[in-house]
Amino acid sequence: MKILEAVKTSYKSLKANKTRSALTMLGIVIGISAVVTVVSIGNGAQALIMGQFASLGSNNIFIEPGAWSKRMESGQGMQSMFEEMEIKTLKYEDELAIEKDPLVARAAPLVMGVDRAVYQGNNKKVTFLGTTPTIFQIQKADIYIGNEFTFEDVKSMSRVAVLGYKVKEDLFGSENPIGKTIRLKNNNFRVVGVMQEQGMQMFMNLDEVIYFPVTTAQKVLLGKDYLNQILVQAADENRVDEAVESMRSTIRERHNIDNPEKDPAKDDFKVVSQKETAEIMTTVTSIFTLFLSSVAAIALLVGGIGIMNIMLVSVTERTREIGLRKAVGARRSDILKQFLIESLMLTLFGGVIGIIMGIIFSYLASVVLSLSLSIVWKFDLPLNAIVTSFVVATVIGLVFGIYPARKAASLNPIEALRYE
């Protein structure tokens, strides 16, 4: 039997049992569409991360409390971040010392919290940041209305606030907020400025943030004397590594840390350049994508087993047909070829449908994430995942089709004709 004839015969056989064929392909369709969708979302997440870091420039450096840990590289970065929120080793005085380093262009302390801001009958849940005016230079942000708070406000612990654009819209609408009073944690604050629209930056919607002088946020809102982070810009992009080491030496000296080996694990803080942070985040997303892809790939294995089961049932149902074909001259290889092609056709049809559905789901996911998170989530068509999925579907068709095909080919024609 020629290949073309075998394909035609196999197609007619599958067409005669449309419902069973469709259900048999379902596992392959679900598995491949899930793999394509997950890989596409993972690639989109990595593109978003790299874009977020690139928007701030390549010379940014982050100083955080707590010793360096490999947990961030192993996918436990979020847990570490929440734990570090309560570590008290980083002080405002550390930031003031770092600012004096000739390798540093500027630095800004950061403390943060979440609460409801209230103006008359309106209220909104916001993230608030305690910092200095330097943060607006680092974030490359401009004032829309009013002015920034000043370093004098920081020194005097003034109760003033600068609103993110969305905060202003939700609390004041078309009303000019400058000079008005908002309430946060039962304390009144005078609005001195509103930021222009900034959107997402470093996974935070800056339009929904309220900025306070760092001393005000520490003492009035949070009741603490330590920082959550120091954001630094190196003076020279080509000397970032040198700046990192210089800052480590400065803080070790201030914290009385004896660490001649310069082992980051022995410090009570960590200094991470933007490049290193991007690499860590990319590693985390890659691990997460790989894990989800592995879970989705289980559906492919289940689909393969389903194909083998259905093909075995088909062999049993068509025993007399097989006996008749052998009796009129069909060779063992012809029977083997036909059943193997049927198995391949099921997996390849399922693979094509799964790839198409995966592309559609990936696109819809990018649209939904962009709208729900107010970000630009890039639709990334994972060609490597598509090719891999198609190859896997082919292999599954061969592997799980061989046993039923061999069983059909090995049937004794006389016994097959007698089968009831």
**Spatial CA neighbour of 132 closest among 107, 97, 165, 105:** 107
**Spatial CA neighbour of 273 closest among 64, 42, 51, 101:** 64
Give, for all 420 residues of the chain, the pLDDT tens digit.
Answer: 566 666 676 667 666 677 777 777 887 888 888 888 888 888 887 777 777 666 666 688 899 998 876 544 444 444 455 455 568 889 999 999 999 999 999 999 999 999 999 999 899 999 999 999 999 988 888 899 999 999 999 999 999 999 999 999 999 998 999 999 999 999 999 999 999 988 777 667 889 999 999 999 999 999 999 999 999 998 888 888 899 999 999 999 999 988 888 888 888 899 888 777 767 777 777 777 777 777 767 777 777 777 777 777 777 666 667 677 767 677 777 777 777 777 788 888 888 888 899 899 988 988 888 887 767 777 887 787 788 777 877 787 777 777 777 777 776 666 655 555
- Residue length of the chain: 420
What does DSSP assign to residue 178?
A: T
Provide the pLDDT for residue 317. Answer: 66
- Type of residue numbered 289: T
Please, what is the end-to-end C-alpha distance for the chain in angstroms?
Answer: 27
Alpha helices in 129-239 (DSSP H): 134-138, 151-156, 165-172, 214-216
**CA dist., res. 33 & res. 272, Å (int):** 38
Map out the domains of the chain as residue ranges: 3-52+297-418, 88-267
**CA dist., res. 300 & res. 309, Å (int):** 14
**Tokens (6 digits) for 415:** 């016994």
- Type of residue numbered 193: G
By DSSP bridging, strand 187-195 and strand 160-163 are: parallel
Provide the pLDDT for residue 384. Answer: 79
What are the percentages of helix, strand and coil residues in the chain, rounded to 5?
A: 60, 15, 25
Write the DSSP string, 129-157: EEE-THHHHHTT--EEEE----HHHHHHT
User: To the nearest 10°, the Cα dihedral for 44, 46, 48, 54?
Assistant: -150
**Tokens (6 digits) for 314:** 């088909």
Let me know: does 416 contact 322? Beta carbons within 8 Å.
yes
Provide the pLDDT for residue 79. Answer: 45
